[in-house]
């Protein structure tokens, strides 16, 4: 019971995300209602604390990532390793990539990363631009632990240097125990959002949080104010 109360308090105290605009999103039956929801969604994402911000969508992806450090979770997973390869190959001017990796079966984060980099997926980088691997920095951490299991040094480094966060870690088992699924996919995400609010270099005025599941695609934005 005490553990359950702790989890509820952790969710309650985490930075709030207003997802109401997505809660009743129609499933294709009423196009008029869909259009209304999309317009409301755009207005919602551009408004923070009553102030309307002009969101610049004309900048190039490479300009956004150039010389900026990125925190990536789930980098050893199917999608995560593709993101790592894409960031290095397509955006060679990107800053350092902080890869949050959980130690597993006596393997350190670095050992797990080295194993992932042996994948043929990274052949073109290995053959043409091997120096790009120097941008990868494995960080020991776990979404299921308080403060993501980060030590003080790594926590400070992330808060001081990271400008962009890509959250790709989750349990995708359809038969996962509900308690474990909530701990990883819900509580773990709120912990990451809490860490985002401590970062000094996040691109204002929003923290982009890209949420993906089998039902829909949505862009949710959290105010970056601390």
Mean pLDDT of 32-59: 52
CB atoms within 10 A of CB 50: 5
Q: How many domains does the chain have?
A: 1
Cα 153 to Cα 10, 42, 158, 220, distances in angstroms: 24, 39, 9, 30
Residue 40 lies in a domain: no
Burial of 75 (0-12, 13-18, 19+ CB in 10 A): buried
**pLDDT confidence of residue 2:** 56
Across all residues in the chain, what is the average pLDDT?
78
Q: What is the largest CA-CA distance in the chain?
A: 56
**pLDDT confidence of residue 139:** 97
Tell me the β-bridge partners of 140. Answer: 101
> Measured in whole angstroms, how far is the alpha carbon of residue 97 from the centre of its chain?
13
Residue 38 lies in a domain: no
Higher-pLDDT residue of 188 and 9 is 188
Residue 47 lies in a domain: no
Residue-wise pLDDT tens digits, 14-26: 544 444 433 444 4
CA–CA distance, 122 with 77 (Å, rounded to integer): 14
Contact 76, 101 (CB under 8 A): yes
**pLDDT confidence of residue 19:** 45
Helix boundaries (H) for the chain: 2-13, 20-23, 31-45, 61-65, 78-90, 109-116, 123-128, 152-161, 178-181, 188-196
Residues spanned by the domain of 202? 57-223
Q: Indicate the pLDDT class of residue 172, thresholds 50, 70 and 90.
A: confident
Residue 127 lies in a domain: yes
Q: What pTM was computed for the model?
A: 0.69
Closest residue by Cα to residue 165 from 221, 223, 208: 208
Residue-wise pLDDT tens digits, 101-160: 999 988 999 999 999 999 999 999 999 999 999 999 999 999 999 999 999 999 999 999
Cα 148 to Cα 39, 100, 142, distances in angstroms: 36, 9, 5
Q: What CATH code is carried by the domain that includes residue 100? A: 3.40.50.720
Residue 183 lies in a domain: yes
CA–CA distance, 76 with 166 (Å, rounded to integer): 13
Residue 20 lies in a domain: no
Q: Is 108 helix (H, G, I), strand (E, B) or coil?
A: coil
Residue-wise pLDDT tens digits, 81-103: 999 999 999 999 999 999 999 99
Residue 159 lies in a domain: yes
Contacts of 14 (CB under 8 A, 6+ apart): 190, 191, 193, 194
Residue 149 lies in a domain: yes
Higher-pLDDT residue of 82 and 221 is 82
CB atoms within 10 A of CB 184: 19
CA–CA distance, 76 with 98 (Å, rounded to integer): 13
Higher-pLDDT residue of 178 and 113 is 113
Question: Which residue is it, tokens 């969604």?
Answer: 41
Cα atoms in the Cβ-side hemisphere of radius 13 Å centred on 41: 17
Q: Indicate the pLDDT class of residue 166, thresholds 50, 70 and 90.
A: very high
């Amino acid at each position: 019971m005490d553990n359950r109360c702790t989890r509820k308090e952790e969710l309650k105290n985490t930075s709030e995300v207003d997802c109401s605009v997505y809660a009743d999103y129609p499933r294709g039956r009423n196009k008029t209602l869909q259009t209304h929801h999309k317009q409301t969604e755009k207005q919602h994402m551009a408004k923070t604390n009553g102030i309307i911000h002009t969101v610049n969508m004309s900048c190039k992806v490479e300009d956004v990532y150039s010389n900026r450090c990125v925190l990536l979770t789930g980098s050893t997973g199917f999608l995560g390793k593709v993101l790592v390869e894409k960031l290095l190959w397509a955006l060679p001017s990107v800053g350092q990539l902080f890869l949050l990796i959980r130690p597993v079966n006596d393997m350190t984060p670095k050992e797990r990363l080295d194993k992932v980099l042996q994948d043929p997926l990274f052949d073109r980088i290995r053959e043409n631009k091997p120096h790009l691997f120097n941008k990868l920095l494995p960080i020991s951490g776990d979404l299921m632990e308080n403060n993501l299991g980060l030590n003080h040094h790594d926590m400070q480094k992330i808060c001081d240097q990271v400008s962009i966060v890509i959250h790709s870690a989750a349990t995708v088992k359809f038969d996962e125990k509900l308690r474990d699924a909530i701990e990883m996919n819900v509580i773990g995400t709120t912990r990451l959002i809490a860490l985002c609010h401590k970062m000094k270099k996040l691109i204002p005025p929003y923290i982009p949080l890209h949420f993906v599941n089998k039902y829909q695609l949505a862009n949710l934005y959290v105010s970056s104010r601390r």
